A and B are shown apart, each in its own frame.
Chain A
Amino acid sequence: MFELQIIINGLLLGGLYALMAIGMSLIWGVTNVVNLAHGALIMLGAYTTFWLFKLLHLDPFISLAASFAVLFVFGFLIQKYIINFVIRAKMFITLLLTFGLDILITNVAQTAWTSNFRQTSPSYASNGFSYGIITVPYVRLAAFAISIALVFALYLFLKKTKTGQAIRAVSQDIDAARLMGINVANTFAVTFGIGAGLAGVAGSMIGVLIPITPHMGEILTLKSFVIALIGGLGTIFGPLVGGLFLGLVETFGSFHLGAKYADVIVFGILVATLIIKPTGILGKNNE
């Protein structure tokens, strides 16, 4: 019975993880940039919701839209006016650049908002329903549902809309896409904006569940990478599988080995995946 509770907790966490990582996976798959500032964007999303809640008493689940909008614009500008300038440089230059952005964003956040622990805590934060000895908190359930819904929304967006098709075209062949009249630079910027916006939404919901600090992003970047990797690049449902998997393994692992080792488990999965199947669970084998 106890195991069942762990499975439920793991799956609920995993849904949120999936949303957190799907932005990184999308940006990586389309622009070939591994965005090491991803955790910092999640952190900004968490703060956006926190301040809207604290100053305007806006419900965190309503301010998700604001969080998406703010981060979309921010991400669009970063890609358009910074990352686009180095996108064809050596791979480690783009990694270095995004890490620089991460340090910049984190330091500014720390200067502006200090390192104090904060949390978005609506009145219903600890409510939930119980069935037998199993408890499901409403907040986690809602975060899970919204995450899954957004993953499907992204799938539909990429399949059905013109912008989505442009993004997929650019990810397949930049030159051919350009010949078809697609503005590659803008498509990259929109892709980064969407990735950042989803990271912001994930951050908003993470901020309801765990404390917010300017440095919360570091480990989340690594986790997002692991999830994107486990799921396999260039797939839309890969991060969903990866997120649920990581959520389950982490919850089981911290229960049996102790919460302190949660980060070590994440890393163990990373190395194991890279050695056994570098293309991920749903990834194609021809890379």
Chain B
Amino acid sequence: MNKVLKYVFLAIIAVLIATVPLYSGAFITRFLIGVILYAIMAEGWNVIAGYTGYPSFGNVVFFGLGAYVTALCMINFHTPFILSLIFSSIAGALFAIIIGIPILRLKGHYFAIVTLGIGETMMAITFNVPFTGTGAGLSLPLASNPNLFYYVSLIVLVIFIVFLKFILSGRLGYGMIAVREDEDAAKMMGIDTVAVKIKAFAISGFFTAIAGGIYAYWSTFIDPPTVYDPVMSIKMIIMTVFGGAGTLLGPVAGAFIIIFLSDFLSTHFTILHTFFFGGLIVMTAIFLPKGLMDVLSQKGIGWKYFIENIRKHRV
């Protein structure tokens, strides 16, 4: 009986989430679209960093690429929105494979900084090649129904989470976790670590690019500094780390909480908002390096937990 009740409860919540645009105003819908897009990106970072142990500091490159592919398809070839998103996702995955082959051999700091550099480089290239509209940016047609973005992004997020849950219980998922825990040992056990890393990176690129495509049509205007903003890569990271890297729903919780706080501060305490992201990152790194999900899984939580975290990591 308890189980039935639980499913009924979950079903009600699912229906409530799925029908948000029908009963809430444009403001809340808009806020939730932002949350869902960031949740997709954070989950994308979670795949390559949280599960596979390769902390990319430039995942925004897939977002920007996806945004530009969708924009260029819709402007130049008038392809339908959904088809453009598919092109974006394929471009994101292909790009991840192409850059992944050389850079996924690098470890630690080297991998992190190279990915950071790729984002900056794509921004510089987009500024300079003529068909991307250079620094002036691109304007997309206006969508007839703004609620479309809510449904599309929600469906993508749900597909992503279900897909991730599916691969985590399979060969690839165990391979990713093995690579994260000890790459050499994984190789010795016969895991094709190169293939695992590239597949994980491709999944990450695939979904992050879709988020970029949705963003492009939603905001109707994109330019290089917006869609290749390195701070966006950091937002994906902090959302995942805050929620819990290497957990299925941590990134979603992180995205929701952080965007809620950020929006709240920016409307009510503008000055505090200046310090928000930097301060949040510093606090999370010191007190919550394992994320919210780890805190929730503890029985009886007190100061001891946080002090223990510090004691373990300080010099």
Contact = CB atoms under 8 A, between A and B. Distances in A.
B275 A104 contact: yes
Interface stretch (B79-87, B110-118, B253-261): B110-118
A250 B117 CA distance: 16
> Which secondary structure dominates chain A's binding surface?
helix
Contacts of A229: 110
Given A92-B55, A96-B241, A100-B278, A86 B285 contact: yes
Contact of B314 (A87, A105, A218): A87
Contacts, number: 139
A188 B315 contact: yes
Interface string B273-315: 0110111111001100100000000000000000000101111
Nearest to A87: B315
Interface string A155-174: 00000000000000000000
B102 interface: yes
B57 interface: yes
A184 B103 CA distance: 34
Which 4 pairs from chain A and chain B are nearest by CB? A104-B278, A100-B281, A92-B55, A97-B285
Interface stretch (B169-177, B191-199, B231-239): B231-239
B124 A91 contact: no
A103 interface: yes
A107 B274 contact: yes
B286 A86 contact: yes
B13 to A, nearest CB: 32
A168 B106 CA distance: 27
Interface of B: 49, 55, 57, 102-103, 106, 108-110, 112-114, 116-118, 120-121, 124-125, 127-128, 230-231, 234, 237-238, 241, 271, 274-275, 277-282, 285-286, 289, 310, 312-315
A87 B313 contact: yes
Nearest to A28: B109
A82 B282 contact: yes
B314 A274 contact: no
Nearest to B231: A103
Most central of A91, A95, A105 by chain B CB within 10 Å? A95
A176 to B, nearest CB: 15
Interface in A185-226: 185, 188, 218-219, 222, 225-226
Interface stretch (A45-53, A122-130, A143-151, A257-265): A257-265
Interface string A87-103: 11111111111011111
Contact of A278 (B106, B241, B271, B285): B106
A84 interface: yes
Contacts of B127: 260
Nearest to B110: A274
A174 to B, nearest CB: 8
Contact of A34 (B113, B234, B271, B274): B113
Contacts of B110: 229, 274, 278
Contacts of B313: 85-89, 93
Given A104-B282, A260-B124, A271-B103, A90 B230 contact: no
Given A87-B313, A88-B312, A88-B315, A261 B128 contact: yes
Interface of A: 28, 34, 36, 82, 84-97, 99-105, 107-108, 110-111, 184-185, 188, 218-219, 222, 225-226, 229, 260-261, 263-264, 266-267, 270-271, 274-275, 278
A103 B128 contact: no
A103 B121 contact: no
Contacts of B55: 91-92, 95
A267 B121 contact: yes
A88 B314 contact: yes
B314 A86 contact: yes
A104 B231 CA distance: 11
A222 B112 CA distance: 11
Contact of B128 (A82, A100, A260): A260
A214 B32 CA distance: 31
Given A96-B238, A108-B274, A267-B120, A84 B109 contact: no
B124 A263 contact: yes
B276 to A, nearest CB: 9
Nearest to B127: A260
A265 to B, nearest CB: 10
